[in-house]
Structures are given as C-alpha cells and as structure tokens.
C-alpha cells in the first residue's frame, strides 16, 4: 500500500491500495470493492504501454497491454475506470511519470463530466521523470522538455486544480504490484479488446477536430505556452495517449541512452 499525506496541512494520512490491472472495467470493479471496504484513497497502477506513451494497438505494446497495470488509451477508458466513483470524495494517486500530465487531464475531464469541479479534486501524480529514468528507464522525451512538462503541470494545477499534489518522489516499493499473474491467453484477449476499443474510437470521433487539436499541441510544444491546455482539448476531442505523445515526440524528440 502507498501512504500519502498533505505534509503540514493538518490532513490525516491516507492508506492507498496500489491496484489496477487488465481492463478499465476490471480495475473499476476492484476500486469499488476497496471503497466499499472503507478505502478513501486510490492508487492507480498503469500498464507499461501507458507509462511509455504508446497506444495498446501499437506494435511496440504487444505482450504488455494490461499487464501489471491497467491499459488507458483514451478518455473513454478513463470514463470506464472511474465510472460510479465519487471523485469529489475519493483522493486518487496515479503512479505515472512521463505521461502524467495526460492522465491527470483525462481525470479532470471525467470529473467535470460527473459534475465535479476541478478545484474539488484531490490526489497526486508521481510526475518524477528523472527518478523514473534512473529507476526503470521508462522515459519518453529528452530531459529538457521533460522538465518543461513538469513545470507546465505545476503552473496548470496552480490555476486549475489547486488541491492536487503535482509531484511525488516516493521511496522504496514504488512499483510493487498486487499479487497475481495474468495468464497469457488473458493478456492476448485484453490486447485484442483494447485494439477493438481504439478502432471504434477512431471511427466515431471527428478526425479533423483531432488533427487540428494535435497541431495546436505541437505549436505550444515548439513555443513557450503551457502545453497542458491544448493537450486537454486534444484529449476531449478523442485523441489517444499515444497520439498526443507522438505529436510531442515529433517536436521534442525521443530520449535514449545516446541522448
């Protein structure tokens, strides 16, 4: 379990069960079970493709979808993940670093759809790109734009989600998952299910609106404007985690050992 606190704010400690695997439907059922048993703080585990900013149907994601974490490709998955959960009464910690801004924005959008104002949301994102690079190598962007993205999260949350903890640098046990191994056949089924969901999303959404929104994300990334605002619009339009990250990769490049 993760234990977080608001430091000197006087708020009590919150015990969080690090949970999430497979699909958003399965993880949502687990969260509701935890809440029914008295949990007031959730800690979301994301699968490796989500942490690396890849969609579940990307070739590089094969074999890792929904494994040791939940697969989140779009706001549609986030709606399912937190469906029926009172986001104004539950604090949510999201164990995510490089694409932390994207997951936070989707969380905000889903909360607002539920009628919960952003200024009532409480929780945390790791948002610790440097530590994540050292610990596991799950980087996306080079150091300079990665740090710029972290700073944009600080600025955005100060204005939009003031009660949110914008960075968390945990100690040991940061990636301890719930026990259990997903059978290979189940992993294949999850991957196929997510690919089908993505195909339906892309068929349903307005492709022109998504393309225009992603273009604005790139314009902000190339300049000095806060990238979270156009990212929020792109996600609301139906852009996926992988598509937004790919748009940023085109501007910022991809970080690797040689970089």
Identify which of 158, 187, 151 has the alpha carbon closest to the alpha carbon of residue 49.
Answer: 187
- Above 50 in pLDDT, residue 99? yes
Say whether pLDDT at 21 is over 90.
Answer: no
Q: What percent of the chain has pLDDT over 70?
A: 83
Distance CA 250, CA 243 (A): 11
Domain ranges of the chain: 14-170+184-203
Phi, psi of 104 (to 5 degrees): -65, -45
**What would the pLDDT profile of 48-68 be if each residue is shown by its tens digit?**
999 999 999 999 999 999 988
Query: Distance (Å, rounded) from C-alpha 224 to C-alpha 237?
Result: 23
- The pLDDT, as a whole number, for residue 18 is 58
The pLDDT value given to residue 22 = 78
Mean pLDDT calculated for residue range 96-107 = 95
Q: What is the pLDDT of residues 185-239, one digit of tens each?
A: 777 899 999 999 999 999 999 999 999 999 999 999 999 999 999 999 999 999 9
Task: State the DSSP H helix or E strand holding residue 165, giving kind and residue range, or none if neither.
Answer: strand 164-165
**Cα distance between residue 97 and residue 103, in whole Å:** 10
146 vs 140: CA distance, rounded Å: 8
């Amino acid at each position: 379990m993760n234990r977080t606190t608001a430091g000197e704010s006087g708020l009590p400690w919150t015990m969080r069960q690090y949970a999430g695997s497979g699909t958003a439907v399965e993880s949502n059922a687990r969260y509701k079970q935890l809440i029914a048993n008295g949990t007031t703080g959730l800690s979301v585990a994301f699968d490796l493709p989500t942490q690396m900013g890849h969609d579940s149907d990307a070739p590089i994601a094969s074999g890792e979808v929904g494994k040791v974490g939940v697969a989140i490709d779009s706001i549609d998955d986030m709606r399912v993940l937190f469906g029926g959960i009172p986001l104004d009464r539950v604090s949510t910690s999201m164990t995510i670093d490089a694409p932390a801004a994207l997951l936070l924005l989707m969380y905000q959008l889903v909360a607002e759809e539920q009628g919960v104002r952003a200024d009532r949301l409480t929780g945390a994102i790791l948002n610790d790109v440097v530590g994540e690079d050292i610990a596991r190598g799950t980087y996306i962007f080079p150091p300079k734009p990665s740090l710029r993205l972290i700073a944009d999260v600080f600025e955005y949350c100060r204005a939009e989600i003031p009660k949110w903890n914008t960075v968390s640098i945990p100690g040991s046990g940061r990636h301890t998952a719930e026990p259990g191994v997903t059978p290979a056949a189940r992993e294949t089924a999850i991957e196929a299910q997510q690919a089908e969901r993505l195909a339906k999303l892309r068929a349903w959404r307005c492709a022109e609106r998504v393309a225009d929104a992603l273009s604005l994300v790139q314009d902000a990334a190339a300049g000095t404007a806060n990238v979270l605002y156009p990212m929020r619009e792109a996600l609301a339009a139906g852009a996926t985690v992988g598509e937004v990250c790919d748009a940023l990769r085109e501007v910022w490049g991809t970080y690797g050992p040689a970089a």
